[in-house]
Every structure is written in C-alpha cells, then in structure tokens.
Structure 1
Amino acid sequence: MKTQRVTQRVETRRLGTWGSETRRLGTWGGTMRAAGCLAAAAVFTAAALPGAAWAADGSPYGFDSGATPIKGAATSLDARQLKAGQSYRDGIKKDGKLYYRVDLDDKQNAYVSVVAVPKSGGKAEYGDGIKVSLQDGSGAQCGYQDSSFESASFTRPITAYAHRTIEADSSTCQQAGAYYVLVERTSKAVSTPDDWDLEIRYVSEPGVKQTGPTELPENWPSASPPPPGGGPQKRQGGTGFHDAISLKQGEWRADIKPGETLFYRVPVDWGQQIFTTAELGSSATGTTEYVSNALVVSLDNPARGHVDQDTVSYDGKPATLAIDPHRPVAFENRYSSNSYTNALRFAGWYYLSATLSPEIAKAYGDEPVPLTLRVSVTGTAKAGPAYDGDAGPFKVTADDREAAASGASGSQAEKSDSMALVAAAGIGAGTVLVVGLGVWTLAGRRRAARDAARGGPQDGPPQFGPPTAW
C-alpha cells in the first residue's frame, strides 16, 4: 500500500505557520498509514478464517482447512515437531509407521489424537485400525490407544489418542523433554490397501494446583434415563470433527446416505453423564433384506480419544442401538484401568459420529435412510479441578450451551470467535481514522479563522478536508 508523503515547504523566509501546518499533515500521514495497516490486518485476518475442507481424494470427510501439512518420519530422531493447539494433515500407507515429536514440560498433560480417514467404500477386517502411542526418549511408553473397525467391516473415519499424564506417584514420562508420537496402521491382506489420510491434533491440559481424590466411588447411576421428550428436531450432522453440529439434550432427526458419516458434538460438564441411542427408520421400499452391522455410532472425548461404539443390523424395519452407560465425567476417572472410564476424564465437547454401511445401497438403493439420535445429559454440573491455567477445551461455557441450543457447528463457533477479533481490530482502525479526521478538521478551521483575521490566506493555500493525496 502506497501513501503519498506530504512534503514540507522549505522556503526559509515564509516557513512560519504553513511549515508548521505541513508538519502536522506529515504526522497525519503517518497516522493514516498506521490505521491503514490495522485495517489491512483485519481484512487479512478475515480472509484466513478456518473452515471445513475435503480430502484430496474426494473422501467426504471435513478436514480442518487450517491444518498444517506434515510428513511423519520413519525414525524418532527424524520426527518433526507438533505444536500444542494445532492440527496437522498427513497420510499413512498400509502397515505404515510414522513418528512425530512433541516437546513437553513437567507440569502439563499432553494429548495427541489421530483421525484415520480411509477412502469410502473400502473393505476392512476385524483387526484393521490404528494405534497411537506416546514414548519418552528411552522408548518407555507413556500411554497409548488403538482403534479398529471391529465387526463392521467397512472403512470409515476412526480415531485414537495417546497421552502423557502427570501423576505424583509415577516416575515414568514425568520429566520435561522430547517425546515421540508413534502412529501405526494395521491392515489384513484382504483389506483395501489404499493410503489413509490422517488428521492429527495436539492439545495440552494444565496441571492442577492441588491433587484431588484418585479413588472412584463404588456406586454410580448406571440406569439409562427415559428418552427425551419434545419430538424430533431436524439437525443434519457435520462432515468431521471440525464442523461437527452441536446438540443439546433432545431428539434429533437426520438423513444419512449409505457410506456416509455424520458428526455431532454435545457439551458434557463435570459430574454429568451422556446417554445416546440411535434409530434407523423403516425402509420406504418394502425391502426386508438383512444387512449386518448396518449402523455404527461412536463416542469420542474432547481430546478426540475414543470412548465407545456400538452397531445395529438392519432389515428394513426400525432398528435401534444404545451406547452403554458410563460413569459421570470426573477428573479421577483418569486413574481407572477401565479404558471407557479413563477416557471420561474431562469436561468439554463430546463427539458422536454415525456411519451407515455402504452395503445398504446394494439392498435398498442410494437414497438416504432416516436417522434419529436421542441424547440425554444427566446430572448436575459440578465445579472442575483447580487448574493451574486456562482449561482450554476441557470445560463447558455459556457459549457452548448456546451453541448446543442453536445447532452451530464447531467451525461456525470458531469463526464467530475469529470474527470478534476482526471486529475489535476493525473498530480500533476505525477509531484511529475518525479521531485523526477530527483533529485535522479542527486544525483546518483554526487555520481558516487566523487567515480571515489577517485579511486573507497566509503562507500557502488553505485546505479543508483530508489531504489531496487521499
């Protein structure tokens, strides 16, 4: 951006008031350049707002368009660094192994999640899947999780995470330093051998100022609540974690195509439980062909760690599944050896994904099948742990509850936050412009008054309004 410089008059005999006025104009030009830079920054910030993107191979998964491309290494010492709060894109071959690096302190917990995204319509065997582990420099394993397609033998997005948890009575993986994330893919010989896309995300959780109880209560409410009332409301799901559609307690109606995965998110606070059932509606064709494991519904935690999943078969009549009841969300859940309980370790957005088998198309055609999700969130929200810093994604805010009520997607909420920053920058730039214009106008009026008092213009032509360079 060019800004014409207002030149001072250098005629020594008549420098006086005109020279002083011109110096003021020079200052005004600098002010306008600064304001212009602020406005440009606001525009560029708006242009860089994140949104969903499609996989390069056309897979209908909504990747985070703000994700940074990265290449996993074959060995730990060649691993590229992941930064907290960022998302990354990579790919993995059949039976591939990839290393990444994270630099950790000795206070915060760390979570690295991986969403594996195969091409739609591929074949998968029971043990096919990914394993994500976190290791220290000596090769000691801090934490790991594996996720597979299990009995539903068709490809779809699956997720797993690894974590380093600070524990007072542990000496493994507690030191500051370099740690390594290992992502491993397992595929049977008969499975589709195509490369899988990866969406990688690293987040940190602050330590606590004071350690609370580590023992879990023996009794907890395990009975499923009655289904939520009020009738179904339309909420079509998102295409990935990034644009997952927000839900609150209620009954939600969508249409799902064969091979499609719909993503939702539900705010679950400390002390609360989430209960989910899913129902496929009856076929309009009258066909009654049996399709095993026709619908898969998965539950994942705020760090995108896998919690649980269930499936149901379909024969043209209504079919229902329910995610098993699990303990309320609690900080002490992380000390449990039960993998389901361990994953319910923090408050925040919990994710639901529903995938309809591509085999449905062979028996019932390509038309969408009606899907209803019934979501209940029970229990009174409690105060969270005394984190030594901002809880980040591991909390539920009033804005989260508002998003759940309105059905905003994750990307819309993120865009709203970014637009607030843009608005603040724009207001700041506008304020500079308005104030500067007011100062210049006042100076012009005073100049005109002096000239009138002296019988005419002095030392150069009077100017009213902005400089002619505008």
Structure 2
Amino acid sequence: MYVSVTALPPPGSRVAFADGVKVSVQDADGFACDYGSARFGASLDPRPLTASAARRAGPEVRRCGTAGTYYVVVERTVSSRSPVSSAPAEKPSSTEDWDLELYVASEPALAKAGPTTPPQAWDSIAPEPPAGAPLPREGGSGFATARALSTGAWADRVRAGQTRYYRVPVGWGRRLSVTLEIGGGARGGDYVTSALVMELFNPVRSRVEDIDSAYDGRQRTTSLPALPPVAHDNRYEALHRVSGMRFAGWYYLAVHLDPDVGARFGTDAVGLTLRVNVDGEHRRGPVYAGTPRPADAFTITERDESAARKGVGGGGSGGPGADADRASGAPGGEGGGMAMKVLAAAGFGTGTVLLGVLGVWRAVARRRVRMSA
C-alpha cells in the first residue's frame, strides 16, 4: 500500500524553515510501518508540499505484513524555536487551516518471484530535449487537474507564487527526460535563489527527484538528472531517483515560481517551456498475483497515450478525469471498483489527523479537518 498526502497552505501564509507535513502508516498497535515528510526549507514559500509513505508485505516483513486495518497518520509539523536566542526574532508561522489531498494505491506481489537486484546497465546520459517552437499547454492547479503532456515542447505561463501541475504517461521499459526553460526580459540587478522549483512524482505520488534554479531576470534552463527506464527491479536500487522509477503509469511534474520573483521583477506571468521526451523500447510489465488498486494504476494504455497527445487534464490513475471524479465522490472513476470515500470538514490546523485504511482498499481523496492546537 502506498499513501501520499499533499498539504495546500493558503496563499500568503507565513511559514518557517522546518514547517511542513509528515505522513506515516501505522498498524493497530501504533507501530509505524513507514513514514515520510516534506518541509518548506530555506525558501519560506507556502507552496504545496507532498509527503508519502508505504506499507510493504511479504515473508521477510515481520510487522505490518498481514492484512487488516492500517492507519494513515498526517501531522502538520512546525518549527521549534528556543525561547533564548541571539538571532533576530522570527515572525510566527501562520495558523490558517491547510487543505489536504490524499491518495492511496495498492500494488500486489508478483505471481512469480523475480530478480531482487536493480538493473545493472542503463544509459545514464539524458537524450537531447525536443527542439522547435513549443505548443501552448496550460498546467493544472494540482494532481487531480494536472495537464497531460506527450513527447514534445510545451509552453505555459506561471505567476509568482503559483504551482503548475502536468502529467506524462511512461510505460514499462520507457524513459522520461524533462528540460525546463523560464523566460527572460525582466529588469536586471536582482537575484532570487531557488526561484523556480520542479518536482517529479511517480504514479503513487511519491517524489522521485526535484531541481531548482535561481533567477535574475534572464532566461534560465535546467533539466532533471538522467532517469532510468521504468522497471519493476528499480525498487532495489538505493538511489531514490532510480528506485522511484519502479512503476509504469502517469508521472507528475510540479513547477513552482517563488513569490519573491513577483516582488523583485514584477507581477506579470513568466513564460516557461517544458521539453519532454519519452523514449526507449516498450516492454511487457510484471505479472501480478492480484489486481492493483486502482486496477489500472501501473499500466499505460493507448487511451493514455492519446490523452497525452491531446493534452487532456484532470487525470491520474484510472484514466483521464478519474481523479476529478474521485474528488467529487462521483461514481465510475474508481479504477476497478476501488472503494473511495470523500470526507469534508473545516480545515487542517496544527495537530494530527488519524485515518483508518480498512482492508487496505479504501482511499481518501480529499479531507479538511480542524485540529486543536
């Protein structure tokens, strides 16, 4: 079972270096099977944060290996400040509630045991990005509305403080490479570190890699490090940008522009270009002993490839529009009959949210829960 949580602070919120979100999967006795976290870091920029965790099963797993009820624990973390400090006083973090977006997927074991070592050889040199004038393709505001991209050059515009989401279908044996260009022409004489951040997430919304680039008003180009072809065996590699390429499916790109760019270079939207390449030989995927949940979570179909060429938005596992259906509670977008549930309340303040995942097959698409301080 894989679970991810995306925290969505309101625009303009004050955040500190260590503020962020933590998610863990726990058994009925409170034992943490796994946990993950994300924080804002030095940019102090209230952008969307995504953290992920997993529950793994198998004969070698002593805890958390049996079927039953598991709990997803989501914690909003805040910076701890010493009452005695020689440093200038920090402004306290904002206490506004954060929206949460949650996603759960389950991957069965293999029908027949396969290799337990990562592939030994793959081309570690990224291919040349696609050339030519980019075509317009406006990104979405989150995973559920991410705009589909295929191989090619795609143009968009992003304002300071915005995050744009895109998704790319990557099948078994295929390799993804992405180059990001940001337009120039703004007045010079100033400089923003980590002005542009691009993150890559795999089909279970676990972060694979992230890069950032400074901005001084001139055109900038940055690329993801070379990624391996998608293969089940990649999970046995220690390097995360290799182990993260363990599934076929929709891969997500999140591109964020720091609010300081607007303060220093003007509030006009900045042009960006994504040059996306998916190459490599199509390969047959692994044979699972059961059915993934959602049923088409770890595969790419001709319909998916067509959606990418046409730029369909609002996708993810389950095909175009499936995530949008889940978020609204609509039937028919739940990949193989996966039981989905939407919970709504007031917001996610400081504290912890505890969610039960019954039989590992229930997912929570979105939740807003008010917590006590």
TM beyond 0.5: yes
- Which structure has more relative contact order (CA 8 Å, sep 6+)? It is 2
Partner of 2:56: 165
Partner of 1:326: 227
Q: Secondary structure at the match of 2:285?
A: coil
Higher mean alpha-carbon deviation, 307-316 vs 181-190, is at 181-190
Larger helix fraction of residues: 1
Task: Pick one of 407, 411, 435 that aligns with 2:311.
Answer: 407
Change (3 A) 1:272 1:124: farther
Task: Pick one of 195, 198, 203 that aligns with 2:105.
Answer: 203
Structure 1 unmatched ranges of 5 or more: 1-109, 423-470
Partner of 1:359: 260
CA distance in 1, matches of 2:42, 2:242: 22
**Equivalent residue letter for 1:210:** K
Change (3 A) 1:133 1:336: farther
> 1:373 aligned to 2:264?
no
Q: Check whether the contact 1:287–1:363 (CA below 8 A) recurs between aligned residues.
A: no
- Runs of 4+ more than 6 Å apart: 415-422
Task: Pick one of 224, 231, 240 that aligns with 2:142.
Answer: 240
Task: Pick one of 108, 120, 145 that aligns with 2:11.
Answer: 120
Q: How does 1:68-467 map to 2 (within 5 A)?
A: 110-188=1-79, 190-283=92-185, 285-387=186-288, 388-389=290-291, 391-411=295-315, 413-414=320-321
**Equivalent residue letter for 1:413:** P
- Whichever of the two has the greater Rg, that structure is 1
Change (3 A) 1:374 1:113: same
Higher mean alpha-carbon deviation, 158-167 vs 252-261, is at 158-167
**Equivalent residue letter for 2:320:** A
Instruction: Compute the TM-score of the two structures, normalised by the length of structure 2.
Output: 0.77
Instruction: State the 1:417 CA deviation.
Output: 11
Change (3 A) 1:115 1:415: closer
CA distance in 2, matches of 1:416, 1:358: 28
**Equivalent residue letter for 1:395:** T
CA distance in 1, matches of 2:310, 2:111: 35
Change (3 A) 1:255 1:161: same
Change (3 A) 1:273 1:129: farther
Aligned residues: 312
CA distance in 2, matches of 1:288, 1:167: 58
Instruction: State the 1:139 CA deviation.
Output: 3.1
Root-mean-square deviation (Å)? 2.5
CA distance in 2, matches of 1:160, 1:416: 18
Partner of 1:36: none
Higher mean alpha-carbon deviation, 215-224 vs 290-299, is at 215-224
Q: Check whether the contact 1:152–1:311 (CA below 8 A) recurs between aligned residues.
A: no
Instruction: State the 1:224 CA deviation.
Output: 1.3
**Equivalent residue letter for 1:340:** R
